[in-house]
A and B are shown apart, each in its own frame.
Chain A
Amino acid sequence: MTFTLAFRNLFHDRVRLGVTLVGILFSIVLVAVQLGLYLGARSMIISMIDRANGDLWVMAYGTKNFEEAQPINTRDRYAALSTPGVANAVPIVASFTDWRKPTGGSTLVVVIGTDNEDGGLSPWNVVEGDVTGLGARDAVMIDKTYLAELGVKKIGDTAEVGASRVRVSGLTEGIRSFTVTPYVFTTISRARTLIDMPPDKITYALVRLQPGADVETVRNAIQAKVPDSEVLTTAEFRTRSLNHWLFATGAGVALIGGAVLGLLVGTVIVAQTLYSSTKDHLNEFATLRALGSSSGYIHRVILMQAALSAVLGYVLGMSIAMAVVYLSENTALPIMMTPGLAALLLALTIGMCAISALSAIGKVMRIDPAMVFNR
């Protein structure tokens, strides 16, 4: 009967139920968008690091993120290669430079140079062309998302990077940058030309260990050989990049802050409507108390009302959130929705409604059951 009572109390006043659901819906969509943006940003920030699939990264001291790194000497790569436990050390070049559109004007890009045969950071999710095609003259690969921004339309179109001509030889899908700066994949030698980097320089040496080698031991051994550079594990580099973009720049704080704000607004709206609903049904709760119901029984009715509101609001809110996710799919900053985030949102919604129910429970606990005689 607690479910029936809660259900009927809730649906008795459709207008109030509508207000409650709009409050929850608004809150869920806001939180889903904010956290989805956070997840999307996080995924973009670490995509290169994760995709490279290395154990250790040798880089310029103090490098804050993948895109903004100073060059190091190729000697550092050889130092890593000569360290016991290292299977290989793949050179990677990455740097910002200008892309001059064939239609006029220019835009900033990140050129990533790596040789596919070295097992380096090759483009993935290739939808047109082939990675081996990067070996052709002037070949580069870009993501479909940035075609318009780069002023090209299809494979075979050309542009200029630095003082050199480049030709689009392949397209990827979903390789997007948090800085909204398009990635341009090419071979390491062509990348050096495009960004005007001397042949004795690289940006990273991506180290893969031999099976059974201890990461910390190898890291310390490499670090001893390259005192002017920094050796980070993949996890450390990932954390450092995330900390820089999400927290040092304040972008992540803004996203998380927006999500917290959404939760607060939702909690206040649900609390207000649950409280006024409880107030309207106060005499019924007093009657229940007079009939001998325990406090727990009454709490169950109110919490059931909150849970019903949460589930209904969640279903509606998630429907809208999924539509927003779908619409953002091909934008520069897509919103991500994962099963984990969906579960977290459900938990947050139920938690928000349970907290909202506290004010209503507090009101009921102050009922004088004798009011049933004074009506």
Chain B
Amino acid sequence: MIADTSSLAAEVRGNASLEEPANIVLEAQHITKELGRGAGKVRALKGVSLSLRAGELTLLMGPSGSGKTTLLSILGCILTPSEGRLAIAGHPTEGLSPEALAELRRQHIGFIFQSYNLFPTLTAEENVRVALDVRGKRGSEAVVAAQRALHRVGLRHKLKSYPANMSGGEQQRVAVARALAGSPSVMLADEPTAALDSENGLAVMQLLSEIAKDKSRAVLAVTHDPRTVPFANRVLRIEDGVIVGEERRTEGVETIHELARNRKRKANA
């Protein structure tokens, strides 16, 4: 389904009868962002509206320079929009100070970065604990929560490993555990598979799609990797700072095993 930006918000509101409004954990309306100054000023986003629903993995796809990362930064309360409105878990972000935005990120947002952004001097468990420490969760409670998050991403055996001693896929899974440990309402992933080989990339996408099944959490991943599409519930396409398309995947989300099976079947045919 193709939708222009101006009609998207209305569409989201129009679909409220189909989907519980309470499921919307992030809503952006008419987001505009200008970067640079004077003659170098660029309009990176031109009135983007979108909403993220809990229990869904949404992909934001588009070519380089289309505004994907700028939009992700705004949705993650790292950048503030030049115009437009944003609400995270029902909290409007308009007019909030940098400290208040940090508080909002702390309470409701989890990040996964393309380059993992792990602390090289900390072990996997400590990397996760940092995210909990920032949220004021300390002591044995934090250790248990960090270990639980690492178990969930399949790194039970790597608790005391340093990033330098882990593969890229393992590092990205630590980053996922770190984002997961804070129980955020929204998880935002910036090119989570870009630095990984095919196998590890698909494993991370599988992990994200499982995390997105949690009915209290929405996951948005910025990507230009078409192999990630089968894991998504919804795909948004952005070009030149405008959302140019939305595809709701009706055939259902595939697991990594189904994906491998289907590929084999196609190859044999």
B241 within 8 A of A: no
- State how many angstroms separate the Cβ of B93 from the closest Cβ of chain A: 13
Q: Which of A286-303 contact B (CB under 8 A)?
A: 287-295, 297
- State how many angstroms separate the Cβ of B105 from the closest Cβ of chain A: 4
- State how many angstroms separate the Cβ of A308 from the closest Cβ of chain B: 14
CA distance A233 to B99 in the complex (A): 60
Q: List 26 A-B contacts (CB under 8 A).
A: A1-B126, A2-B133, A4-B122, A5-B121, A5-B122, A8-B122, A284-B117, A287-B113, A291-B130, A291-B131, A291-B134, A291-B178, A292-B102, A292-B105, A293-B106, A293-B134, A294-B102, A294-B103, A297-B134, A369-B78, A370-B79, A372-B117, A373-B72, A373-B78, A373-B114, A375-B117
CB nearest to A289 among chain B residues: B102
What residues of chain A have their CB less than 8 Å away from a CB belonging to chain B?
Answer: 1-2, 4-5, 8-9, 12, 283-284, 287-295, 297, 369-370, 372-375
Interfacial chain A residues near B129, Cβ < 8 Å: 1
B231 within 8 A of A: no
Is the pair A287, B103 in contact by a Cβ cutoff of 8 Å?
A: no
- State how many angstroms separate the Cβ of B232 from the closest Cβ of chain A: 20
CB < 8 Å A-B pair total: 78
CB nearest to B108 among chain A residues: A292
Is the pair B122, A291 in contact by a Cβ cutoff of 8 Å?
A: no
CB nearest to A283 among chain B residues: B117
Q: Which of B101-132 contact A (CB under 8 A)?
A: 102-107, 109, 111, 113-115, 117, 119-122, 126, 129-131
Number of interface residues of B (CB under 8 A): 33
- State how many angstroms separate the Cβ of B146 from the closest Cβ of chain A: 10
- State how many angstroms separate the Cβ of A136 from the closest Cβ of chain B: 75
Say whether chain A's binding surface is mostly helix, strand, loop, or mixed: helix
Beyond contacts A293-B106, A370-B78: 16 other A-B pairs, Cβ-Cβ < 8 A, are A1-B130, A4-B122, A5-B121, A8-B119, A8-B121, A12-B121, A289-B102, A291-B105, A292-B106, A294-B134, A370-B79, A373-B69, A373-B73, A373-B78, A373-B114, A375-B113
Interfacial chain A residues near B122, Cβ < 8 Å: 4-5, 8
Is the pair A294, B135 in contact by a Cβ cutoff of 8 Å?
A: no
Interfacial chain A residues near B120, Cβ < 8 Å: 12
CA distance A9 to B131 in the complex (A): 17
Interfacial chain A residues near B78, Cβ < 8 Å: 290, 369-370, 372-373
Interfacial chain A residues near B133, Cβ < 8 Å: 1-2
- State how many angstroms separate the Cβ of A288 from the closest Cβ of chain B: 7
CA distance A373 to B117 in the complex (A): 9
Is the pair B111, A372 in contact by a Cβ cutoff of 8 Å?
A: yes
CA distance A295 to B101 in the complex (A): 12
Closest 9 pairs between A and B when the two form their complex, measured CB to CB: A292-B106, A8-B121, A292-B105, A1-B133, A293-B134, A287-B117, A375-B115, A369-B78, A370-B73
